[in-house]
Amino acid sequence: MRATPTPPVWLEEPLIQRLLNVFVDKLERGVKLIIKVGAKTTPELYEFDEDVQYLWALVESLDKDCKLITIKKAKVKPFQEVYEGAQLRFIPEREEVLREWLNRPALDPYAVVWNSELEKVADSNPAKAVLAHNLIRLPEWGAEQTLRGLLAIGQTLQQPMTLRQLSARCFAGHSKVLDRHEDWVRLLYPDLAHRILPRPLLVTLHLPEHFSEVLFIENQDTFLELAAQPQSHFALVYSAGFALSAERTRTKGQVVFTYTQVSDEARAGFERFWFDAHASVPVWFWGDLDFAGMAILRSLRASFAQTQAWQPGYQPLLELLQNGEAHSATMAGKTAQVDPGTTGCHYADEQLLVAIRRHNGFVDQEAVRPLLGDCY
């Protein structure tokens, strides 16, 4: 008997787990083994505060490396992502491998418990019929716990609250269970879903009395260090990784600003810039000299199109890299980072990314402490 190949280490990624479990669900229901990529079927690929390029690379690996699926891409417009509308088709001959990797034998104990518990639910419960055709799995949660939590949503969502609050009140105090799963709530309780409050982005900034340039900073320690320097003409924004690359970043009502001590005039001036997509203020980004940092720069440019890599911060990191004072992806646990290809910034594309590839190393921004000043 041929041994089952070892599953890849990234199999536990929530997007991959959910896609593969959906294919098993389809196998058990005897329906077409196809998933069309879209905001409802693969919401993680549309949450742009995440590294969506990395997530899509993992989906492609299910085809190229694991031979579990085939991918048929759709024709996309220039402004769309390459995966928009793609069809993921499971290869039926790989069912045995898939079931072993997911620990879902043909006789599914989870499904048995799920159906048994669902029989106890009153037929008058509007969610029962939907749950009978949608077996939902949560990592490390049993069928009974999962079902109980989903059913509790109907009684809990009687007043407006955020998805995190709803999750904590229905799933044993765990606030992140429903992250990326608002679609479950809308599917089960379409008449209540309007009560879910949007969770605004929390943006931390340090403002001078008058600013003429904006600098996004990836890491907290560096942000605080620069904010402690004497006043400059830079408005400093803590980007918190990919957080500010979300589509709603420049939408009023979707952002809450927290400031250091600042005048009302300075605050009003900055918010005029933030919500004006045509503002001509120079915008810079400085983060780690690695593929993730470059991906953040690329993502930021979707909301702040004029954003460029900040040379006074990146140049000393580049020199460390060129002098051999860098760490490998393995040393820093960054093996999952994916080369973004291009960012749209000439300096980043022609110098920084080229150097990262040539030297096969990374340097975190905390390695240097530049002074705020004009860009090169």
Instruction: Let me know: does 201 contact 254? Beta carbons within 8 Å.
Output: yes
Residue 133 has pLDDT above 50, yes or no: yes
Confidence of residue 52 (pLDDT cuts 50, 70, 90): confident
Average pLDDT over residues 182-187: 89
DSSP states along 25-80? HHHHHT---EEE-STTT-GGGG-TTS-HHHHHHHHHHHHHTT-SEEEEPPP--TTS
Per-residue pLDDT of 337-349, as tens digits, reads 889 999 999 999 9
Contact criterion met (CB below 8 Å) for 284 and 213:
yes
Whether the CB-CB separation of 326 and 361 falls below 8 Å is answered with: yes
Mean pLDDT, rounded, for 165-188: 87
Report helix, strand and coil shares of the chain as percent, to nearest 5. 45, 10, 45
Using one digit for the tens of pLDDT, what is the confidence trace for 80-94? Answer: 889 999 999 999 999
| Among 136, 16, 15, residue whose Cα is nearest residue 7 | 16
User: Residue 140: which pLDDT band, with cuts at 50, 70 and 90?
Assistant: confident
More confident residue, 176 or 307: 307
| Tens-place pLDDT, residues 191-207 | 998 999 887 778 888 88
Three-state SS for 2? coil
The predicted structure's pLDDT at residue 37: 94
Q: Which three-class secondary structure state does DSSP give residue 256?
A: strand
For the chain, the average pLDDT equals 87
67 or 252: which carries more pLDDT confidence? 67
Report pTM. Answer: 0.49
Tell me the residue ranges of DSSP E strands in the chain: 34-36, 69-72, 87-90, 161-162, 196-197, 201-206, 213-217, 234-238, 255-259, 283-286, 308-309
Kindly report the CATH number that applies to the domain delimited by 9-102. 1.10.10
- Half-sphere exposure in the Cβ direction for 119 (13 Å, CA): 5
Residue 225 has pLDDT above 90, yes or no: no
> Which range (34-38, 186-190, 235-239, 366-370) has the least confidence?
366-370
Q: With left for phi above 0 and alpha for psi between -120 and 50, is residue 240 left, alpha or beta?
A: left
How far is it, in rounded angstroms, from Cα 150 to Cα 133? 14
Cα distance between residue 236 and residue 246, in whole Å? 19
- The structure tokens listed for 217 are 């900073």
Q: Which two tokens mark 140?
A: 């490390």
What pLDDT score was predicted for residue 3? 66
